[in-house]
């Protein structure tokens, strides 16, 4: 059976669910704390509570799974970079006033290496950890569970940034250049002191320690580049994805429909700025369960333009399943492949769990991508409708053939 054949009211009811999803998203933007939907923010908490309340009506079982996420890894990395650079250049300046420099220069070199490691994010564990929450809501089938289809979306929005990507790249380059110059200064002066090298004006090299102080300003600025206490509106990324997943479940609930042997679920994750931490924790915690049961995760993200709808997945069987589902849903899947987008889908694929990224992001980044422009103007009921139909038809197609797509 196709999803479109599940009820004579299918077309009108799906459209009703789509309109409700878009209206709810607009209502949240107007009445919720949309500017603080970063992981652990008030806005994310409000959104999670609202959607959990809806899902408790649509589903048979709902659980909240907590995990730890590093919300200030970016700040911590730049702070430690600054601290180690400060110690390194401080020792370099100190070496100017002493005759026996070997020990001071070796210590300065060591701090320069530590600054490089901090710059590369090696010390991320030193950042502030906080508790975040995933929501997992399950609607059982009429029979024994042989398949699982999970509609996944992330609740949180991107951190607000104070500089453009270009400016941030320049600052990071200058910081990296400064670290390399610190290392080079320590090595050259140490070799001069050990009489390994010498040249006509080698005594002037020591003065460079004072000039290197200027590079301390760049990691200080970078510490303020990302605001971990606020977020962009994140309408496409990923407010509407969360409402779309719940909209598909709303249709099944309000029409009192259940699949035969396929468990249909909604997963709302958090911690996306921390390398999709919520999705990674969920995939790892549930891997054994999903290995025992034929499982497919549909990751919904950035649904704003029905004309660029695409489904990026791995595996011939999954691709065939999505192709047949798209045909049944009467939606066109384009060949867009937004490789710049680091979605939750990779967290599941890494654990060997079949997953599909369903999005309308094109090949190139749209102008609003992860900035202030990702606002109410990106709400498109037709994009939501296409995604809901594709999700429903995928679930029904997997349920229809109990062996073909295993």
Question: What are the residue ranges spanned by the domains of the chain?
Answer: 3-70+128-160+230-400, 75-124+164-224
* Tally of CB atoms within 10 A around 188: 16
For the chain, the three-class secondary structure string (H helix, E strand, C coil) is: CCHHHCCCCHHHHHHHHHHHHHHHHHHHHHHCCHHHCCCCCHHHHHHHHHHHHHHHHHCCEEEEEEEEEECCHHHHHHHHHHHHHHHHHHHHHHHCCCCCCHHHHHHHHHHHHHHHHHHCCCCHHHCCEEEEEEEEEEECCCCCCCEEEEEEEECCCCEEECCCHHHHHHHHHHHHHHHHHHHHHHHHHHHHHCCCCCCCCHHHHHHHHHHHHHHHHHHHHHHCCEEEEEECCCHHHHHHHHHHHHHHHHHHHHCCCCCCCEEEEEEEECCCCCCCHHHHHHHHHCHHHHHHCEEEEEEEECCCCHHHCEEEECCHHHHHHHHHHHHHHCCCCCCCCCCCCCCCHHHHHHCCCCEEEEECCCCCCCCCCCCCCCCHHHCCHHHHHHHHHHHHHHHHHHHHCCCCCC
Judge whether 367 and 227 are in contact, CB under 8 Å. no
| pTM of the shown model | 0.85
Distance of CA 212 to CAs 82, 217, 299, Å? 13, 10, 47
What pLDDT tens digit does each residue of the chain (406 aa) get?
899 999 999 999 999 999 999 999 999 999 989 999 998 899 999 999 999 999 999 999 999 999 988 766 677 888 999 999 999 999 989 887 876 678 888 999 999 999 999 998 787 555 557 889 999 999 999 999 999 999 999 999 999 988 887 898 999 999 999 999 999 999 988 888 887 877 777 677 888 889 999 999 999 999 888 888 899 999 999 999 999 999 999 999 999 999 999 999 999 999 998 889 999 999 999 999 999 999 999 999 999 999 999 999 988 999 999 999 999 999 999 999 999 998 899 999 999 999 999 999 999 999 999 999 999 999 999 999 999 999 999 999 999 864 444 4
End-to-end CA distance of the chain: 18
Name beta bridge partners: 148: 263, 295
The pLDDT of residue 358 is 97
Q: Is the dihedral of CA 9, 11, 12, 16 positive or negative?
A: positive
Q: What is the side-by-side strand order in the sheet with 147-154?
A: 61-70, 129-139, 262-269, 147-154, 294-301, 355-359, 310-313
**pLDDT score of 401:** 64
The domain 3-70+128-160+230-400 having CATH identifier 3.30.70.20: the answer here is no
CA distance linking residue 381 with residue 24, whole number of Å: 12
d(CA 133, CA 35): 19
328: burial class by Cβ within 10 Å (0-12, 13-18, 19+)? buried
> In Å, what is the CA distance from 355 to each residue of 155, 273, 300, 350, 358?
18, 20, 11, 10, 10
């Amino acid at each position: 059976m196709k999803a479109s054949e599940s009820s004579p009211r299918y077309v009108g009811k799906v459209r009703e669910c789509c309109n409700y999803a878009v209206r709810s998203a607009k209502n949240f933007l107007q009445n919720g704390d949309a500017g603080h939907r970063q992981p652990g923010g008030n806005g994310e908490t409000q959104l999670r509570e609202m959607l959990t309340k809806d899902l408790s009506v649509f589903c048979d079982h709902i659980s909240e799974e907590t995990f730890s996420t590093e919300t200030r890894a970016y700040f911590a990395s730049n702070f430690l970079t600054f601290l180690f650079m400060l110690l390194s250049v401080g020792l370099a300046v100190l070496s100017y006033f002493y005759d026996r420099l070997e020990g001071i220069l070796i210590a300065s070199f060591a701090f320069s290496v530590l600054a490089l490691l901090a710059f590369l994010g090696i010390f991320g564990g030193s950042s502030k950890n906080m508790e975040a929450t995933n929501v997992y809501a399950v609607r059982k089938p009429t029979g024994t569970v042989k398949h699982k289809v999970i509609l996944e979306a992330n609740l949180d929005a991107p951190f607000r940034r104070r500089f453009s990507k270009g400016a941030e790249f320049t600052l990071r380059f200058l910081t990296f250049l400064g670290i390399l110059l610190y290392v080079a200064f320590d090595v050259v002066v140490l070799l001069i002191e050990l009489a390994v090298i010498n040249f006509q004006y080698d005594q002037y090299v020591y003065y460079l320690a004072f000039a290197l102080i200027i590079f301390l300003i760049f990691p200080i600025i970078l510490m303020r580049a990302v605001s971990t206490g606020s977020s962009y509106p994140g309408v496409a990324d990923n407010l509407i994805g969360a409402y779309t997943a719940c909209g598909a479940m709303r249709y099944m609930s309000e029409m009192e429909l259940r699949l035969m042997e396929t468990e249909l679920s909604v997963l709302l994750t958090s911690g996306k700025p921390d390398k999709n931490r919520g999705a990674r924790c969920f995939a790892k915690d549930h891997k054994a369960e999903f290995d025992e049961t034929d499982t497919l995760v549909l990751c919904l993200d950035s649904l704003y333009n029905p004309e660029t709808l695409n489904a990026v997945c791995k595996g011939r069987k999954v691709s065939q399943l999505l192709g047949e589902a798209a045909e049944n849903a009467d939606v066109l899947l384009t060949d867009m492949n937004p490789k710049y987008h680091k979605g939750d889908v990779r967290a599941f694929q890494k654990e060997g769990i079949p997953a599909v990224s369903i999005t309308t992001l094109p090949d190139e980044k749209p102008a609003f991508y992860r900035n202030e422009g990702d606002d109410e103007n990106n709400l498109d009921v037709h994009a939501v409708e296409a995604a809901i139909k594709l999700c429903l038809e995928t679930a029904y197609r997997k349920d229809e053939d109990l062996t073909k797509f295993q």
